[in-house]
Chains A and B, each alone.
Chain A
Amino acid sequence: MNDLIQHLINGLAAGTIYALVALGYTMVYGVLKLINFAHGDVMMVGVYMGYATAGHLGREHQSTFLGATLVFLLSMAGCGLLGFLIERLAYRPLRDKSRLTSLITAIGISFTLSYGFQLDIGFLPGASPRAFPEIIKPHEWIVIGDHDVIIWNWQVISFLIAILLMLGLQILVFRTRFGRAMRAVSFDHRIAALMGIPVDRVIAFTFMLGSALAAGAGILYAIKDTAVQPLMGLYVGLKAFVAAVIGGIGHVPGAVAGAILLGLTEEFVVGYAGDVLRGLGAVLHLDSLGVGFTGSSWRDAVAFGFLIIVLLVRPEGIFGRVTAEKV
């Protein structure tokens, strides 16, 4: 029972971080119908910006409330600017070209960032992994029983930050004039322009917002002792993409639900699937083939298997609606 609770907590914590990255995917898809494959790599750049900021602050200041806030805000602002530049220089000139052109460009930007950052020239960090500074000093916030269930402070903090950011986004999209304009652009940007909506500005802002959220998510992700390295964005980005598609891409609450579902599934696979698979392996005599049966080695297979099943059974995602063909 305690086991179950612990996995639930870990799964939720992981899911909320995926959710923040998935929101960026889904928002950009919403307004541009573009899968921004560089999104995860923008997140990675944000993590390095946070790393650099924390380094400048030094050990003494980086873990104070003010210091940690500054790390978040500066890297979110930096990534917002990066998102703005990518949209302006790479995607905008291609907006009325075929979708495939933008998609290939997105993959190009993704590789430029993830492999460019492996260079060790100038400000570029090089390929070697590093640990993210402890801007939130980990301690056990709630302990139940004899360390049966542990809730870490950073889990609670990431959960709260993620929930706040998502609520803010939901209010922005559904309760403000600007959000109404975003939804109009999402439906048809040519008609939106006829309402006097400055479409370029709405799209640029959406990119900036998505990129800033990714930076915040990236730092939360890096804090839970994940190695910071230039390829991390490819991996997290892919997971968040899966989450967004599962929830129904373009659908804000869907992205959150898909991400939490993915976080929980992965956590339970890591927790329990090992036993199940080992049992199965023994029955089928698979050990002789050298197949690994720890749960964690199956985590990604399950995530992508999940995606394939959703795409087969409900291609519009769990919450997505089949969009009416435009006349």
Chain B
Amino acid sequence: MSGAAVAQETGGVKVLGTRAPREPHLEIQGLRVSYGAIQALRGIDLTVGRAEVVALIGANGAGKTSTLRAVSGMLKPAGGKILLDGRDVTGLKAHQLVPRGMAHAPEGRGIFLNLTVEENLDLGAYRRRDTAEIAKDLEYCFHLFPRIKERRKQMAGTLSGGEQQMLAISRALMSRPKLLLLDEPSLGLAPQVTETIFRTLKEVNERGMSILLVEQNAHLALQLAHYGYVLETGEVVMAGPGRELLESPEVRKAYLGE
């Protein structure tokens, strides 16, 4: 291999290697988010290409969740632009983005504990009318996570943490999204379950789904991701292909505990 990864400094961002060119699916430009006086994001740029897996890593409080919330319309950005398929969607409400092919499995899973497992899954497909295809997607989710199938009549509140995470991902898939936003899907899961979930992500990505993945587990995320960004106190400090970030001394030191 050439190995001559060129490190560039552009506007405080250390960019490693080169990125395979793709048609942009999601473009974030100068995004700012504030909670009252607290500035959570100070103007970040980030792109997800079509059918690309992009990982967003960073310490607690770096602004990863805020990024996803702004993209999915859960909160209004204080500044900047969000383009989806080249169209400006900044300031659109969350429910308007779902029919445009976006699904967000939020931090804390966001399961409706007062509904059954099956009702949660049905809500994932709330904006769809293609009954036959919905049934197929449901079967696919059941095939991925047989545990969810067994428990489909139960109240979601009776599920274990791992099962709730499987449900959260299944529910996001039920909208048949083109772009999937995931906030720490491996949090609190047993290693085998995490493995299942990451295998699933690889599989749906190979079928053409774009994924923006926020993870604490930088190792797993960067292995899967085509490209990655490192966020530090509301700013992107580093970007590069997953493999090269994995091998960079800064990332190894700060996020892989080496």
Stretch in contact with the other chain, from A108-116, A159-167, A192-200:
A192-200
In the bound complex, do residue B93 and residue A193 qualify as a contact, i.e. CB atoms below 8 Å apart?
yes
In the bound complex, do residue B98 and residue A187 qualify as a contact, i.e. CB atoms below 8 Å apart?
no
Bitwise interface map of A from 37 to 62 toward B, beta carbon under 8 Å scored 1, else 0: 00000000000000000000000000
Is A177 an interface position by the 8 A CB rule?
yes
| Chain A, 76-121, CB within 8 A of any chain B CB | none
Is B175 an interface position by the 8 A CB rule?
yes
Bitwise interface map of B from 104 to 129 toward A, beta carbon under 8 Å scored 1, else 0: 10101110111100010011101100
Of A181, A194, A198, A324, the residue contacting B110 (CB under 8 A) is A194
In the bound complex, do residue A194 and residue B115 qualify as a contact, i.e. CB atoms below 8 Å apart?
no
A197 contact set on B, CB distance < 8 A: 95, 123, 126
Is A188 an interface position by the 8 A CB rule?
yes
Bitwise interface map of A from 164 to 202 toward B, beta carbon under 8 Å scored 1, else 0: 000000000000010011011011101111111111000
B113 contact set on A, CB distance < 8 A: 187, 324
B126 contact set on A, CB distance < 8 A: 177, 181, 195-197
State the Cβ distance, B85 to closest chain A Cβ, in Å. 17
Give the total number of A-B pairs whose CB atoms are below 8 A apart: 66
**Interface secondary structure of A, over-half rule:** helix
B95 contact set on A, CB distance < 8 A: 193-199
How far is A181 from B123 in the complex, measured between Cα atoms in Å? 7
State the Cβ distance, B82 to closest chain A Cβ, in Å. 16
| A interface residues, how many (CB within 8 angstroms) | 20
Is A327 an interface position by the 8 A CB rule?
yes
| Chain B, 73-97, CB within 8 A of any chain A CB | 73-74, 93-95
| Chain B, 29-47, CB within 8 A of any chain A CB | none
B110 contact set on A, CB distance < 8 A: 188, 191, 194
Bitwise interface map of A from 184 to 225 toward B, beta carbon under 8 Å scored 1, else 0: 101110111111111100000000000000000000000000
B115 contact set on A, CB distance < 8 A: 180, 183-184, 187
B73 contact set on A, CB distance < 8 A: 193
The verdict on A186 contacting B114 (CB below 8 Å), with A180-B122, A194-B74, A198-B95 known, is: yes
State the Cβ distance, A191 to closest chain B Cβ, in Å. 4
Is B157 an interface position by the 8 A CB rule?
yes
State the Cβ distance, A264 to closest chain B Cβ, in Å. 30
In the bound complex, do residue B72 and residue A194 qualify as a contact, i.e. CB atoms below 8 Å apart?
yes
Nearest to B161 among chain A residues (CB) is: A327
In the bound complex, do residue A188 and residue B94 qualify as a contact, i.e. CB atoms below 8 Å apart?
no
| Candidate in A177, A191, A199 with the most chain B CB atoms within 10 angstroms | A191
How far is A266 from B112 in the complex, measured between Cα atoms in Å? 38
State the Cβ distance, B197 to closest chain A Cβ, in Å. 19
State the Cβ distance, A178 to closest chain B Cβ, in Å. 10
How far is A181 from B122 in the complex, measured between Cα atoms in Å? 10
State the Cβ distance, B38 to closest chain A Cβ, in Å. 16
B249 contact set on A, CB distance < 8 A: none
Nearest to A181 among chain B residues (CB) is: B126
Bitwise interface map of B from 31 to 74 toward A, beta carbon under 8 Å scored 1, else 0: 00000000000000000000000000000000000000000111
Is B208 an interface position by the 8 A CB rule?
no
The 3 lowest CB-CB distance pairs between A and B, nearest first, are A196-B98, A196-B127, A193-B94
Having A180-B119, A187-B113, A197-B123, one finds 10 other A-B pairs with CB under 8 Å, namely: A180-B122, A180-B123, A184-B115, A187-B112, A190-B94, A191-B112, A192-B123, A193-B74, A196-B98, A327-B108
- List, sorted by A's number, 16 A–B pairs whose CB atoms are closer than 8 Å: A177-B122, A180-B115, A181-B123, A183-B115, A187-B112, A187-B113, A188-B110, A188-B112, A190-B94, A191-B106, A192-B112, A194-B94, A194-B103, A195-B127, A196-B175, A324-B113
